[in-house]
Every structure is written in structure tokens, then in C-alpha cells.
Amino acid sequence: MKLITNGIKGTEDILPGESYRWQFVEDIMRKQAQSYGFREIRTPVFEHTELFQRSVGDTTDVVQKEMYTFTTKGGESVTLRPEGTAGAARAMLEHGVYNDGYPIKAYYLTSCYRYEKPQKGRQREFHQFGMEVYGAPSYFADAEVICAAHSIFDRLGVRNLDLELNSIGCSKCRPKYHQALKEYFESQKDQLCETCLSRLDRNPMRILDCKSPVCSEIASHAPTVLDYICEDCQTHFEGVKSCLEAAGIRFKINPTIVRGLDYYTRTVFEFVSHDIGAQGTVCGGGRYDGLIEELGGQPTPSLGFGMGIERLLLLLDSQKIEIPQPPVCDLYVIGMGEQAKRKAFQIIEGVRNSSLIAEGDIVGRSMKAQMKYADKIKAKFSMVIGDNELQSNQAKLRNMENGDERMVPLDDGFFSEFYQAYVDNDHSELLDQLDLMK
């Protein structure tokens, strides 16, 4: 039978056999964020289009080419979020979270949407982990956010990752740099692509981020921003570097980093791998002190980063970093006959309520087929309940790994006997999780 449709190009299904990998990585991200004092924020998947036009910047590739924008039945223009920062900033402003006092520390795990050519490590629907800080002007905040990102890679065991650092100045010093860039690119304008020509007057820094080989080659010889930043920006940048050095985190200066979004100021950074091909940036971020004011709030120093989960998983695969397998079934119970099946159901629910994994047949398999299934799902123990077991009020508990068997009661004493089987078979580490043993 032919399917009525397939998944949309640029999207991927995360199937049950794969989702544990995501859960493992996401769990580490959450724990590391919490250890740095961050709490989760969740925002809608779509926002009014002007939010991204104002925050991301109408000269960026994201706004010009990649956003999924549509008109609602009420005539409003809305856009699927292309990144996580703008929505988090809007929510912080709209709900007055700043009234709780600064700094505000928030993290998110979210899906994002950009219309671009799907390729390895880049999809039209992709997933990001991000951390946001509002109300912290100090360079210590920049260093802390970078350290937080670094700690996630460290916990995962990622190797050969380069931290690249730059400062792109502030509203005071950037106009001089813009003028220098404009003069340089004007002399090369006959070779620039149409998109870069449109950026020349409005935001020449965006040309540095162009993916065209010709424009990239021209940009490689352009004036560097570090030659134009003011004394305050230089002091801030030196502070960031000194903190990272104190934390033992290695970095290199890359004056070509500008990031792909207009809201960045001062510190920008990327964690780059050379193990996953062209899409090697697995994390990027920096400071965006003008963002909140751009969205209608009071001037508020802000910073953060976004980390691509798909690219991170590719990196783990490329470095053969093992992700622990998900927990398997602790007990599979087979019931033969209606009365025995009800008793099996009762035991299964009791085991589940004690924080272990238990399963039984719900599709009508034969006893032989059930045993095969218990073996397939790598159940640690199995048990068969039939008329004889009901009559004697006990059954054989079988260790599926070594075949050892022991008789266990089918009344309240079952649980203590079952837990003892765990102890005897070196599963004692689970006992402190079991509610019924407390």
C-alpha cells in the first residue's frame, strides 16, 4: 500500500530507537545549565515577523532568504522561529521578568526553522540548545557563558574542538569600521554578488559572512575589526581572554568572525570542529547589548549562545563517542489463561510503580513467541504464570542472562524476592531508586 505522503524535505524523524541519544545529550545540557544557575524558558514556535526583522536584522541571510513566513487568517504576518534568542528576549520583556532582578539566566531546548538547502548537519527544521543572560555588563559574564558551553563538550568527551574568539565592537566604534569596510568593498564592488551589493550601504559587515567563494576571497583581505574597536571594547575583550586563560580554556583569535545575526556586539565566539565537514560550527554566540532596546525595552546588556544538536550528534558519531544505551526491561511476565494474565498485569503494574521497567504481552503472542520477544528486548528477568502457579501462589523467576531460576511468591512477598534477585545479580545500584524499598 502506497503512503499518502512522506516527510517534508529538510525534516527528519527521530525514531524510538534513536531518541535515547538525543535524551542523553539534552540531559547533560540541562544539568550543566542548572549548575550555572540557569532555568528553562519555553516560547512559541512562531512569532510576529517584525520580531525577527528587528532583532536578527533585515540585511542577514536569515531574514532575506531563509525565514518561513506566512499570513494568518486574521491578516497577521507570522514567522516560524529561525533561532531562539529573539523569542526569549521578547518573553522576558513582555512578562516583566526583569522585575525579579538581574541577572536573568535562561536556557532553552527548541526547534528552529530556516529554508535553505538541506545537507549534512543542516536541515530546514533543526534543534538548538541555548543559554541567555540579561542584565550582566561584565566581561565575567561573557567568560561564564563560554565556560558553560565548553563544560557541555567536556562532559560529552568531545575532542579537537577549537574555540574561536573575536570582538566586533560597539555602537561607538563600529561606524568607523563600517566606513573602512565600505571604502574597501567599494573598490571591489564589480565582483560582489547582488546580495552583498545590497548590503554595501546598509551593513557592510554582512559581506564578511557571505558564502560566495568570490565574496569570501575578497572579504579575506578586508580591514579587520580589532584594528578599530574602542578602548572600552578592547578592555572588555582583554578581560574575557584573561578569564578564559584563568579557567584553562584554550582559544584563538579569529578576526573574521562576525556571526550571522545583526544583534551581536563586542564578544563573538564559535566552537568549531574539523571532523564533520563544512558545517563545522557546533556552537556560536556572543554579546548583544543593543537587542533589548531594539525590541522596545530599556538598554540591557545581554549575551548567550546557540548549540546545534544535530551537528553535535554528528560530531559524537565522528569521534566514536559512545552514548549509553537506554534502560531495558527489568521483568517480562507471561500469563497463560485469563486469570493468570490478570495476575501478570497486577504484578507488572506493581513493578512499574516501584520505578523499574516491566512488560507483558498486549498483542496476543503465544508463550513461545513471548519468550522470544523477552529475549529480543533484552529483559533481565522473566516469569511465567499459569494455573499451577496460581494454585501454589508462586512462580519461577528466570534470569535471562544465565538461566538461573528461583521460586518467588505471587503475593506481597514477591517484591522483596524480586529485589533480592537484583542484589544477587549485581543490579544493586538500582535499589536506591526503588520507592518500595524506602
Give the residue-averaged pLDDT of 236-256.
Answer: 96
Whole-prediction pTM value? 0.88
- All residues at 6 or more sequence positions from 248 whose CB lies less than 8 Å from its CB, including other chains: none
Q: Which pLDDT does position 97 carry in this prediction?
A: 94
DSSP string, 327-361: P--SEEEEE-SHHHHHHHHHHHHHHHHTT--EEE-
Are 129 and 107 within 8 A, CB to CB?
yes
- All residues at 6 or more sequence positions from 294 whose CB lies less than 8 Å from its CB, including other chains: 54, 55, 263
Task: Give per-residue pLDDT as tens, 301-359.
Answer: 999 999 999 999 999 999 999 999 999 999 999 999 999 999 999 999 999 988 899 99
381-385 and 394-399 beta bridge pairing: antiparallel
Task: Give per-residue pLDDT as tens, 365-421.
Answer: 999 999 999 999 999 999 999 999 999 999 999 999 989 999 999 988 888 888 777
Report which residue type is found at 152: I
Rg of the chain on CA atoms, in Å: 28
- What size, in residues, is the chain? 438
Q: Cis check for the bond before 103: say yes or no (omega within 30 of 0).
A: yes
> Does 428 have pLDDT greater than 90?
no
Q: Phi, psi at residue 271, to the nearest 5°?
A: -100, 120
Domain boundaries, the chain: 16-173+229-318, 331-430
302-308 and 394-399 beta bridge pairing: unpaired
Please list the residues that pair with 220 across neighbouring strands.
none
Q: Which pLDDT does position 261 carry in this prediction?
A: 66
Q: Please name the fold of domain 16-173+229-318.
A: BirA Bifunctional Protein; domain 2 (3.30.930)
- All residues at 6 or more sequence positions from 73 whose CB lies less than 8 Å from its CB, including other chains: none
Q: Quote the cell numbers at residue 379.
A: 529483559
Q: Which pLDDT does position 255 carry in this prediction?
A: 87
Q: Which pLDDT does position 436 carry in this prediction?
A: 40
Q: How far apart are the first and last CA of the chain?
A: 53
> Does 150 have pLDDT greater than 50?
yes
405-409 and 394-399 beta bridge pairing: antiparallel
Q: Phi, psi at residue 303, to the nearest 5°?
A: -165, 165
Q: Please name the fold of domain 331-430.
A: Rossmann fold (3.40.50)
Render the burial of 300-320: b for 16+ CB within 10 Å, e for the rest: bbbbbbbbbbbbbbbbbeebe
